[in-house]
Amino acid sequence: MRYLRSTMTEKSLSSLAVRFPKTGERRRQWEVALRRDGFVSCGRTLLCSDHFSCEDFDRMGQTVRLKDDVVPTVFNFPAHLQRQQEAQPLQEERKMNLSLMFIDEFKISTTRTSPLPLCILGEDVAVVEDYKYLGVHLDNGLNWRINTDAVHKKGMSRLYFLRKLRSFHMCSKMLEIFYRSVVASALFFAAVCWGGSIRAGDTGRINKLIRKAGSVIGIKLDPDEAVVERRTLNRLLSIMDNPTHPLHLQLDSQRSSFSNRLLQLRSTITLYNKSPLAGR
């Protein structure tokens, strides 16, 4: 703490010298406040009390002293230093404006914008979260959760009839025929479209239903992944063997010029990387 004699008048107070703080952040703040290039104070460096305002002094006790954490602020700097001091708030304001612009752009880039309305024959097409087309439920996120729920519900209802047939002491061969024609046809309807893109939890539900059906029949049935992969590969081969198919030219262009084999199809979306086509 820097003490001054209390007997000094207000006028004589301006001629006193104040010693720099010995160490710490406060000493560095005093050095920066002087705005002298390369200036480093020592333990005996003094500063005139004129560089402090009247509010920086405490006169309540027997001695006059500087208040805690005060920094010299009263200076008569040259013109070039004054312009630098005045330009500093403008630089801070410019940085703040740039930060606000960045935040606004980030919000715009991360916020989903509502799609523009689609107009067909003068009528706006309604935007819905899900839609059933040709027996398949399509949702706006393409996570196939609604479609999987519908498939699982159909499979459970048809599994009931499979159990009823076993209660009539039907042979395993007839039960297997019923499963493939009634139960599996509902479980794997359009599986080429959604089978490789459903979530692991939905795949587990379908596989659990298949295991129940296998226990009723008395045989081990193929899981969902194997059936989807086999059907997808068969569909792919049928498209490549049919030159009149709309996708034939696109798939044929994916062949290797060296071995004439179909190159591996890749997806930039992690959700679709496990598709059977991605490994072929």
Question: What residue ranges do the domains of the chain occupy?
Answer: 3-66, 82-111, 130-279
104 contacts 45 by C-beta, under 8 angstroms: no
In the structure encoding, which two tokens stand for residue 225, read together? 């992944």
DSSP β-bridge partners for residue 237: none
Q: What is the pLDDT along the chain (280 residues), one digit of tens a residue?
A: 444 443 344 444 445 777 777 767 777 877 777 777 777 777 677 777 777 777 777 777 667 777 777 777 777 666 655 545 444 555 666 666 555 555 555 544 445 566 677 777 777 777 788 888 888 888 888 888 899 999 999 999 999 999 999 999 889 999 999 999 999 999 999 888 888 888 889 999 999 999 999 999 999 999 999 999 998 888 888 888 888 888 888 877 877 777 777 776 665 555 445 555 544 4
In the structure encoding, which two tokens stand for residue 271, read together? 């959700």
Residue type, 259: S
